[in-house]
Amino acid sequence: MKATLRPAEHPRPRPRPMIVLATLFLIAVPLTGTGSHALGSSRDDSDRTDLRQKRHYGDLINIFTGDIRIPADTIRHGSIICIGGDVVVEGEVSRDVIVILGSMKLDGGEIGGSLFGILSKVELRDAEIHGELFNIAGGMTREEVYVGGQIFDLGILGSWFPGILTLLTWWRVFSLLFVFILVVMLVALAPERVRMIGQEAPVRYVSAFFVGVLAYVALLLLFTVATPTIIGLPVIYLGYLALKWLAIAGMFHALGQRVGRAFGREMSPLGAVLLVYGIYAVILLVLSPLGLPGLALITLIRIFFFCFFEVPAVGLVLLTRVGTKSGRRAPVTKPGPMTPVSPPPPVAPAPLAGPPTPRPSASQPGSEPGPVAPADPSEDRSD
């Protein structure tokens, strides 16, 4: 019986420590290198982000020379002063921003100092202001804005109106109010003069226009002569203003009377004047918020009003002698050298009344009927 021979079993090799360490090192080095490379790339990206952000140093001042814009990737280390232009800040300004007679738009930006908007339109949205916020005589809108200091909002007309037009609008409002008071006083003090000028306006309009042109030329020369004086120029101007608006009130009176009669009403002098003046003032105030187109229309209306109302008004004041004398006279027939003059008709004298003559009565006894005497006309007059 043969014995079966089995192959000898070889023992398993034991792992050597150096080989294990070398294998771990070879695996760890690429991983570590990859991690360090990733970390380094992230740091490089952040550095590149900072480098892509533009930095400018120094103050930026524009005075009627254009607009200013700070993009979102820009930092201005300094202040911004802009007069008569628009400023748009989407990035960062380290110090103050001052805008006068323009507009300021802070959209997602940041201001390290204070913001001053004077006679300007200010729009703030999703922004930060670390200092104070001043809005003086302008319009301002705010939406999600952080302000570190105090807010002084002294706006006048709101956010829809630019600053320079705001100033013009308020000047127009005060001037219309002043003229309204002046017209009411003139109509209250001299209603007959206003009525006389209103009656003469349609009759002598053409001649008043040419007389008014000559009067304005003379008035210009008079202003030139009175300019060096201190009191003469204001006195002449106030007198011219009162006389001019007295005549314009007379023209308004004529128009107001026609408008009232068209609606079946008889207007009083004050009511007729204020009706036309109110229409004129409302038109100017309604066109004021329209910006530059409204300003252009107001200019055209003012030119029309000057040519067809103010110039003839000055002429009417001179022709009517400040509303005291009418230009229309009744026709007077004067006798000529060959015209026969008829004497006045003679007036017959009235007869003298005598004593009444008694008549015999037929009812008395003893009286005889006789001829009846004719009646005396004097008796009929006495009866």
Count of domains for the chain: 2
Decide: 277 and 309 in contact? Cβ < 8 Å.
Answer: no
- Determine the pLDDT at residue 39: 38
| 154 & 196 share domain | no
379 lies in some domain: no
Q: Is the domain of 169 the same as that of 232?
A: yes
Are residues 224 and 273 both part of a single domain?
yes
**212 assigned to some structural domain:** yes
Residue 299 shares a structural domain with residue 181: yes
**Both tokens of residue 283?**
């038109």
Does residue 42 lie within any of the structural domains?
A: no
Residue 332 covered by a domain: no
Q: Which amino acid is at 166?
A: T
Residue 299 CA to residue 88 CA, distance in Å, equals 31
Q: Is residue 132 part of a domain?
A: yes
Quick one: pLDDT at residue 223? 84
Q: 230 with 94, same domain?
A: no
| CA separation for the pair 68, 86 (Å, rounded) | 6
Residue 26 resides in a domain: no
Query: Among 327, 299, 115, 79, which Cα is nearest to 201's?
Result: 327
Q: What does each C-alpha distance from 124 to 29, 60, 138, 289, 332 come to in angstroms?
A: 54, 20, 14, 22, 79
**Dist. CA 330–CA 333, nearest whole Å:** 10
Let me know whether 173 and 302 are in one domain.
Answer: yes
Range of the domain at 114: 55-160
- Of 319, 335, 363, the last residue of a domain is 319
CB-CB contact of 194 with 250 (8 Å): yes
- State whether 212 and 310 are in the same domain: yes
Binned average pLDDT, 10 residues per bin, the chain of 383 residues:
47 50 44 40 41 74 88 91 91 92 90 90 91 85 89 63 65 90 92 91 92 92 81 84 92 91 88 92 85 85 93 91 70 50 55 55 49 51 45
Is 373 within a domain?
no
Which pLDDT belongs to residue 92? Answer: 93
Q: pTM for this one?
A: 0.48
Of 280, 302, 319, which one is at a domain's C-terminal end? Answer: 319
190 with 290: CB under 8 angstroms? no
Same domain, 173 and 293: yes
In a shared domain, residues 137 and 240: no
Q: Give the N- to C-terminal CA distance of the chain in Å, as an integer.
A: 208
For residues 155 and 224, membership in a common domain is answered with: no
Q: Looking at the structure, do residues 214 and 313 belong to the same domain, yes or no?
A: yes
User: Does 87 map to a domain?
Assistant: yes
Same domain assignment for residues 265 and 288: yes
Q: Choose the final residue of a domain: 143, 160, 177.
A: 160
**DSSP state string for 138-195:** SEEEEEEEEESS-EEEE-SS-TTS-HHHHHHHHHHHHHHHHHHHHHHHHHHH-HHHHH
